[in-house]
C-alpha cells in the first residue's frame, strides 16, 4: 500500500512540473497554411507582436526587426504576429501582408492575425497562452497590452526573456537578451 502511495505521489509531482513545450504549437501563416513550431527546434525564437498602423515609427520598427533577423539568421527565428486585440481584421489581411512583406524578409514568419491577450479567454491562441501564463511556460505571467512585445525562447524551447514595447529592437536590452545562453 505504501509503495502505491509513493508511486502515485511521484506521478503527481511529475505531472505538476511538466510544462508544455512551444514546439507543440502550430501557427497560421499570413500567406496561408500553417507552420509547426517543432520545425524551429534548435534555434532561438523571438516572438513579436506587430504594429497595425502604417506610419514612420512602425516602418522603423519593421526595418529594425528585419535587420535583427538578418544579423542572426543562423541561430534565430523571428515570429511576428498582428493581434486581433490591437485591431486586426481579416479584411486587412492582404493590405497588412503587403506592407509587412515590403519591410520584412521571407525569413521572418508572419502569422495570420491571432488573439494574443488573456482577456480573450479560451480564444487566446495557444502560443500566446504559453507565452503569457506561468503555469504553461514556468517563467513569466504577464499579459500583452499592445504591439511590439518581445518574447525570447532558448534553443531548448524554454522562455527566458520578455521585453515591453519601449525596448528598441536594436537596443542594448534586446542585444543582451539575445546573447544570454
- Is the Cβ–Cβ distance between 61 and 170 less than 8 Å? no
CATH architecture of residue range(s) 20-179 = 3-Layer(aba) Sandwich (3.40)
Cell numbers 488573456 correspond to: 118
Partners of 35 in the β-ladder: 27
DSSP-derived letter for residue 86 is G
pTM as predicted: 0.87
HSE-up of residue 88 (Cα within 13 Å, Cβ side): 23
pLDDT digits (tens, 9 = 90+) for 4-53: 444 444 434 444 444 578 999 999 999 999 999 999 999 999 999 999 99
pLDDT of res. 170: 76
Distance CA 157, CA 42 (A): 8
Give the pLDDT confidence score for residue 13 in this predicted structure. 42
Q: Where are the domains of the chain?
A: 20-179
Give the whole-angstrom CA distance, residue 57 versus residue 73: 24
What pLDDT shows up at residue 176? 85
| Blockwise average pLDDT, block size 10, the chain, 181 residues | 45 48 96 96 96 96 95 95 97 97 96 97 97 94 95 94 88 83 65
d(CA 38, CA 115): 21
Report the SS3 class of residue 21. Answer: coil
Where would I find the beta strands (DSSP E) of 103-163? Answer: 109-110, 150-153, 159-163
CA 108 vs CA 4, 7, 46, 57, 86: distances in Å? 50, 46, 10, 19, 20
Amino acid at each position: 500500500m505504501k509503495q502505491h502511495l509513493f508511486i502515485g505521489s511521484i506521478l503527481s509531482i511529475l505531472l505538476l512540473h511538466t510544462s508544455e513545450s512551444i514546439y507543440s504549437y502550430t501557427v497560421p501563416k499570413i500567406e496561408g497554411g500553417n507552420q509547426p513550431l517543432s520545425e524551429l527546434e534548435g534555434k532561438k525564437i523571438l516572438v513579436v507582436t506587430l504594429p497595425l498602423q502604417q506610419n514612420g515609427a512602425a516602418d522603423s520598427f519593421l526595418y529594425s526587426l528585419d535587420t535583427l533577423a538578418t544579423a542572426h539568421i543562423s541561430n534565430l527565428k523571428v515570429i511576428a504576429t498582428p493581434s486581433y486585440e490591437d485591431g486586426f481584421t481579416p479584411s486587412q489581411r492582404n493590405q497588412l501582408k503587403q506592407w509587412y512583406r515590403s519591410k520584412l524578409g521571407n525569413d521572418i514568419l508572419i502569422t495570420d492575425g491571432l488573439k494574443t491577450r488573456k482577456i480573450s479567454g479560451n480564444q487566446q491562441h495557444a502560443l500566446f497562452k504559453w507565452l503569457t501564463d506561468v503555469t504553461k511556460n514556468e517563467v513569466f505571467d504577464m499579459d500583452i497590452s499592445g504591439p511590439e512585445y518581445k518574447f525570447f525562447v532558448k534553443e531548448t524551447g524554454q522562455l527566458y526573456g520578455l521585453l515591453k514595447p519601449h525596448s528598441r529592437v536594436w537596443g542594448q536590452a534586446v542585444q543582451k537578451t539575445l546573447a544570454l545562453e
